[in-house]
């Protein structure tokens, strides 16, 4: 066997073990008995230790030294790009530092949950300072003298730079603030009334998942506290949740996770259990979940079909026409919480976090000043003041577990989705007629063919450009939002 073949065989096993570790996580959130948590963390630690040993295996370094990428085909070169990058990253971070981060973030997550429950920011700050200091050190180790925050973004969105995100977000922010402000001056659409039995929600949510092309022969839907998608290739599972008075929570989180899951299920089988066999970045992943959820799932055409389905499943629910139902699905409402935000305001939540965490990592903001900075910025962009820390700086788990550089990929996903949606509309001119029948196959087929199946073959921005025919830009997203919500709210 050549060094390349040996490396790929080794990598294949590593990827298979990664799938096993991921499925342990699924098990923990869905079916694990409550009393098994302590044993489970030992099992997870053992898997993590095996995976770490493989990532730092000296043979990998030897194979990498022996392989001349130029002799490989396009696919081989792409595989090598991923493997070299991942190996270099692992080798740059000292083992003690990685261990310390794992230890401190595990503690910090618990302290964050307590601080949030007791609305006590001060109780969280000491451990957050530890996390920030350690992550700065890690960023410096990764950055090789370059920008620390760039190095962090690179973990989630390879090749993306903070300065480019900043330029993109700075251009988006005033238009989104203006749109939010105009919309919130208008009367709100009707809300749903009544109760929606969880069992019936789950029945309809399965129908929705299949309508969006999710293959239940290689996946499953369970309930969990938080919706998520898990796994790659031929075993990609999603979770959802039901709230008796709010069926949209179930349906739209299902469609969102189906977007993630279809990306994983849609990747070319030839890339199975290789570095190319999974979504290429968090931003591209989010573009799939967002276009499924928003541009398709919350479209006037598709909500017309959903209206009929809901009437069949639940009878009358206080919203009597497809037109009013479309407005209800797309209600823009005041609120503090990112995960509950609508299409108009979601990105404002992200930009706030992006600016703050960039400043934290760059040393321009200290954790002691974080709450005040959050509250000032929130009032500026949303027009009202944060009422309590759990609705403000303590609402997200991310920073406690050291996820700096992750937040911007959510908005990047929206931007990417905007580009893909524009191209999709051109490619499938009668899309609305199909969506009105609950038929997403032309849309999801187009996404599968042009984006999903390629997995990690191209870099993230190239992946979007290949599919949409344009370098990623926020203009299509902004135009879509202004047109859609302008029409909905009579602006």
With binding defined as CB under 8 A, does residue 234 bind a copy of itself? yes
CB 282 within 8 A of CB 157: yes
User: Which listed residue (233, 297, 322, 456) binds a copy of itself by CB under 8 A?
Assistant: 233
C-beta of 18 vs 362, nearer to a copy of itself = 18
* Burial grade of 264 (CB within 10 A; 0-12, 13-18, 19 or more): buried
Contact 303, 329 (CB under 8 A): yes
Q: Where are the alpha helices (DSSP H) in 118-161?
A: 121-143, 148-156
Look-up of token digits 């200091």? 133
State which of positions 325-344 bind a copy of itself (CB under 8 A).
none
| C-alpha–C-alpha distance, residues 138 and 93, integer Å | 6
Figure out which of the listed residues 58, 217, 315, 429 binds a copy of itself, where binding follows CB under 8 A: 217
CB of 316 to a copy of itself, least distance (A): 31
Strands 237-240 and 221-223: parallel
Of 138, 257, 286, 357, catalytic: 257
52 part of the interface to a copy of itself, by CB under 8 A: no
Is 257 labeled as catalytic in the residue annotation?
yes
The nearer residue to a copy of itself, 14 or 281, going by C-beta atoms, is 14
Minimal distance, residue 46 CB to a copy of itself, in Å:
4
Residue from 40, 175, 377, 398 in contact with a copy of itself (CB under 8 A): 40
d(CA 454, CA 464): 11
Q: How does 110-142 read in b/e, with b if 16+ C-beta sit within 10 Å?
A: ebbeebbeeeebeebbebbebbbebbbbbbebb
Pick the binder of a copy of itself from 163, 167, 216, 270 (CB under 8 A): 216
Choose one: 11-19, 199-207, 321-329, 341-349; the region binding a copy of itself (CB under 8 A).
11-19
Is 215 a binding residue for a copy of itself by CB under 8 A? The answer is yes
For residue 269, the minimal CB distance to a copy of itself (Å) is: 10
C-alpha dihedral, 25 to 27 to 31 to 35, nearest 10°: -60
Q: Are 21 and 89 in contact (CB under 8 A)?
A: no
CB of 30 to a copy of itself, least distance (A): 8
Mind giving me the DSSP string for 271-302? GTTSTTSS-S-HHHHHHHHHIIIIIITTSHHH
In terms of CB distance, is 39 or 118 closer to a copy of itself? 39
Q: Which of residues 132-161 bind a copy of itself (CB under 8 A)?
A: none
Strand ranges in 200-356 using DSSP code E only, listed in sequence order = 221-223, 229-230, 237-240
Does 3 interact with a copy of itself (rule: CB under 8 A)?
A: no
Catalytically annotated residues: 257
Residue ranges in contact with a copy of itself by CB under 8 A: 12-13, 16-17, 19-20, 23-24, 27, 31-36, 38-40, 42-43, 45-47, 49-50, 215-220, 233-235, 237, 272-273
């Amino acid at each position: 066997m050549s060094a390349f073949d040996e490396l790929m065989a080794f990598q294949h096993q590593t990827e298979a073990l990664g799938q096993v570790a991921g499925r342990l996580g699924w098990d923990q959130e869905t079916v694990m008995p409550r009393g098994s948590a302590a044993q489970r963390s030992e099992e997870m630690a053992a898997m993590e230790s095996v995976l770490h040993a493989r990532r730092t295996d000296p043979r990998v370094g030897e194979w990498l030294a022996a392989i001349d990428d130029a002799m490989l085909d396009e696919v081989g070169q792409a595989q090598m790009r991923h493997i070299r990058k991942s190996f270099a990253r692992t080798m740059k971070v000292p083992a003690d530092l990685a261990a310390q981060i794992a230890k401190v973030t595990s503690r910090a997550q618990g302290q964050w949950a307590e601080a949030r429950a007791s609305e006590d920011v001060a109780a969280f700050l000491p451990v957050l300072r530890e996390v920030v200091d350690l992550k700065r050190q890690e960023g410096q180790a990764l950055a090789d003298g370059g920008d620390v925050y760039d190095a962090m973004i690179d973990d989630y969105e390879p090749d993306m730079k903070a300065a480019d995100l900043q330029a993109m977000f700075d251009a988006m922010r005033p238009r989104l603030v203006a749109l939010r402000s105009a919309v919130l001056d208008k009367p709100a659409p009707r809300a749903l009334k009544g109760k929606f039995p969880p069992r019936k929600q789950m029945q309809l949510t399965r129908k929705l998942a299949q309508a969006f092309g999710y293959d239940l022969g290689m996946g499953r839907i369970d309930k969990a506290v938080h919706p998520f998608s898990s796994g790659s290739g031929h075993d990609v599972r999603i979770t959802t949740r039901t709230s008796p008075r709010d069926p949209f929570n179930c349906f739209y989180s299902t469609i969102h996770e189906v977007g993630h899951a279809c990306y994983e299920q849609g990747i070319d089988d030839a890339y199975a259990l290789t570095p190319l066999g999974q979504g290429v970045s968090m931003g591209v992943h989010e573009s799939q979940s967002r276009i499924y959820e928003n541009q398709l799932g919350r479209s006037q055409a598709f909500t017309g079909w959903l209206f009929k389905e809901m009437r069949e499943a639940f009878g009358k629910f206080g919203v009597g026409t497809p037109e009013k139902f479309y407005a209800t699905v797309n209600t823009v409402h005041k609120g503090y919480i990112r995960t509950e935000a609508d299409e108009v305001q979601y990105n404002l939540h992200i930009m706030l976090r992006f600016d703050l965490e960039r400043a934290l990592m760059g040393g321009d903001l200290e954790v002691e000043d974080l709450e005040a900075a959050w509250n000032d910025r929130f009032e500026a962009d949303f027009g009202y003041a944060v009422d309590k820390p759990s609705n403000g700086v303590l609402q997200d788990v991310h920073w406690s577990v050291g996820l700096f550089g992750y937040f911007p990929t959510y908005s990047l996903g929206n931007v990417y989705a905007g580009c893909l949606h524009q191209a999709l509309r051109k490619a499938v001119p009668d899309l609305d007629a199909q969506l009105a029948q609950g038929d997403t196959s032309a849309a999801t087929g187009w996404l599968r063919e042009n984006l999903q199946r390629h997995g990690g073959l191209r870099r993230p921005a190239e992946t979007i450009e290949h599919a949409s025919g344009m370098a990623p830009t926020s203009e299509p997203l902004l135009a879509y939002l202004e047109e859609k919500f302008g029409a909905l709210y009579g602006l």
